[in-house]
Structure 1
Amino acid sequence: YNGVTQPQVTFIYNDSLDIWTARFGSIPRIGDTIEYRIRAVDNSSASNTAYSPSATSWYSFVVQRDYFEDFETGALDYRHYSIRSGYLDEWHIEDSRAHSDSLSYKCGGTGRRDYSDRVDAALETPYIYVSGDDTLSFYHWMDAELDSRHSGYAWDGGIVEMSTDGGVTWHQITPIGGYPYRIQNNPVSPFRYNTPCFSTMTGWQRARFALSFTGWVKFRFHFGSDGYVTGEGWYIDDVRTTNYHWTAVLENGKWVPEKLGLSISPNPFNSALKLVLAVPENGKLTVDVVDINGRLVSNIHNAFVEKGFVNLVWRPETLPTGIYFVVARTNSSSAVKKVAFIK
């Protein structure tokens, strides 16, 4: 960093997507210049070594200021989990609603199905560097249970929290203009009585949070439901942190995979299968599902795509339990994955 030599790091290979990844050992600062080169050594007794770009030169980039995530490339650095024991986590990538493009993150059932009773789930961002002049913003859509007898109260809803210690502790942050509802008193609710919250709204809305902390933080979107009436859930899209006084000094080019890669999860699955494809070229992408006899049972995708990552969801509602094969094809390559569907 900035001309100071750092310890070398080891790449890890993802064979499904044909991607090598490495994580730097320390956290850089905004504006730092990062220089790196890649060294590969074979397994022969001679330990033949190659460098990229060369043994005497470096790749370089400058750490940028703003952060943006639209979930179109999988958001592999996000994580989600249940907070309270005995309560559910229903966060997942969803294609049934989106503010931009085709994907968002949803807490609720697959497609437009309702969330379950007793949900207490968090969707957590990676580390993001912020300062006291920053604004966190995102677009969201929510259908959740309101208290029809008491204006301004909700039985189910969502809040936004921030951690400044790597996720050890969390505190709720307040949007500009405040939360529109408060949680009603209910011993089954994962939230305390009178907790300010988001709940049912009309259409996609933008939420903005003025930040006062400077440093590396994490945010999480925390949704909770009680044990009774449910709704469609909470969708999150186009998450951004912005500092209007900062000008980015480098625009990195879009990474392009060298060959078609296919990753599926979970496996086995019982309702919806998430597919992430690394596509090496612009053109037609076909994704089919065949049974163990090679018969076509479903066409998931058959359209033009741009090179890069493509996210899809398959819901085999009318198929029996069994073993199936997901077959992806472009003009020049193909990839196959075996999957078990259990009703």
Structure 2
Amino acid sequence: CSSDLIAEGVGKIFDPDPLTSAKKEYGATGLLDNSDADSPELSAQLKEVVLKDLSQENGQFYLRGKYAWIADTGAPFKGLFEQIGTDFSATRSNDLFEAVNAYYHIDLNLRYVAETLGFSIPNRHTQNTTAQWFDPSALNGADNSQYDPSTGYLVFGEGGVDDAEDAGVIWHEAAHALHDRMTLGSISNATNDGLAEGFADYWAQSYLWTVQQWNSTDAPYHYVFRWDGHNPFWGGRTTKYPNKFPDGIVTSGGSLRERNGQILASTLMEIWPILGRTMTDRAALSAVGMTNAESNQNDYFNAFYQTLRQLGAPTGQVEQVYQIITLRGYTLPAKGLSIGLESDLPQLTMESDATLRVEINNNSAFDKTDVSVTAQLPAGMVYQPNSATCPVNLNNSSLVFSIGNLPAFGFKTCTFIVRLSHLTGKKYFSDDFEQGLSQWVAPKDAQNFAWTSSMMQPHQGKTSAFVQNQGLPSDLTLTLAKAVSLQAGTPVLSFWHFYNTEFFSDGGVVEISTDAGSTWQDLETKWIMNAYNGRISSTFSTPLTSRKAFTGSSQKYINSIADLSAFVNQSVLVRFRFASDAVTNGTGWFVDDVLVADQTSLDSEVCMTSGEGDQHCTKERFMVLFSTPVESEKPVLPITHEIEGIWPNPFAGEATLRLRVAKPQGVRIAIHDLLGRKVGEVFDGVLAAGEWRTFTLDGIHLPNGVYFCRIAGETFSEVQKIILLR
């Protein structure tokens, strides 16, 4: 069949509902549901509209366009309401009316998001098209509507007032779809918190306020679901809800998320008149995209406030918004100047340079002048010259950044690169799975399922370990094939993983054994970073029922780290264990870049001053994972020495040399120019046998050119050419 987009059709809708446009409440003459019957009063509220982007297939026209796409997903199976012409006009007694009303408002909603707000958010369920699928007559006629994140469908029930007759319901449910798209399937599931319901109520009300007839002093002005609710069928909800966060969160009775969501929605609607619809909507939708399954309302408003400042809202408006949010009980960053220091990596290693980021935050209504930042680097952390994104001076081991003026509610970010040196520790085991599961045991179950090596979604490289989340009972393990002997020190288990499972029903744990696998204990109490995020509570029993686990969606690869210091001087096996129940499936669990190694920490302090007399300091602790193998894993030593090439070469200011020797001996490392003159001393001391050492070649004070690095020990001598090029 052929399919072409048609410019437009026509139809009749309620905008937003017959009570709002008539400025009357439910029960007024002729303004009753009356089992879908028409009345002169209801028909008077019909509005003729253009239906954009209708599609044509085999000579018939369908409510299928760029942003909305009708489907017939379940009982009562009323069809697709295709028409021979482009006139889809009907009154509410005809089921076609609900289909047209839903199509129009879904199209209007997503068209506004894409073309006015400027968001590009494809539907993850429909091959990255923008269209939102919907069924205007579904749920077997129940008085309910919902967004199904497993299929991507919006489905509307017909009990009481048909839900697809009320634009408030349509915009609310479409907001859940937007939430799902913005978070890549990680809608907030924080218990009873109501973030998702509150955002959806806000999104509906934000539209209703643009088309309503009520005055702000009228109670219906604040109603959500004005036609579907606030009537004998059910009580509806409001965005003039008096409760505050967190004390006003209710924990008993029904519909907890819906009731608690009214706090969030009411707060946003207090902000709406200050910022206007477009700015509030843009910040509200951006903020929801910064949340995840574990986020609560307070997390949401911190994201909203941050987004508002990034959007450049006027200072006076930002100040008013701050007051509204905090008076509602939410906690935002303290007023005034603040500063933070963080790394782009969850832990630092000897192999990779790290980018550190200084965040300067003027959370006040006043400009700050002559702002300066001093970052004190700890011993073992070396600044890489010319890597800073802000003007900087190096003062011994401190970096001094000249920030200049910082406007009210302004941000400034400076980044720079560091490299670790002169730190020692042990690595016991590592696997990036590029050689498959060669270092693991992955038994198949009775259904022939098992952990496998997969190229679908590695953390880096080409492969990872993977177990699929079947819609069947399973208990699958991935176990180290060879025990690791932990020595005295500070060992940890680090791994990167991404999981997408049925939340609370399917998930994975990590276990450890000190008796060659006879018994296993969970690492639940050992997590240092990114611990289990939920508890398995499936109605259908699994081996992990009632245990904490990684469950639901991590949204992306995350790094989890567990403390193994309780197992030093023991040989241990580690296993990843995944279990599922007999129903709904998911993608599964990807595990990559597993490392067992010692860890330590480095402490840094960063301070900020301003011309107005502000002084603020903060300390940051960075975790370091080591990579020098223990004796049992070291390769055979060279006859005399081994050098890993000087890197980078050419270099702009500093380069790194790694060296180990076969026997303990004195070693001297120096830099010479082309005439053989020594122009720099790198090291003059004794090296232990077999231990890798890292040295920094400093060329900061040398002119560009070719030099020679001479490495001489008692049993060897070697020269390597290096090029200094700024």
Which bracket does the TM-score occupy, shorter chain normalised?
0.3 to 0.5
The structure with the greater share of residues assigned to helix is 2
The higher radius of gyration belongs to: 2
The structure with the greater share of residues assigned to strand is 1
Q: Which has the higher contact order (CA 8 A, sep 6+)?
A: 1
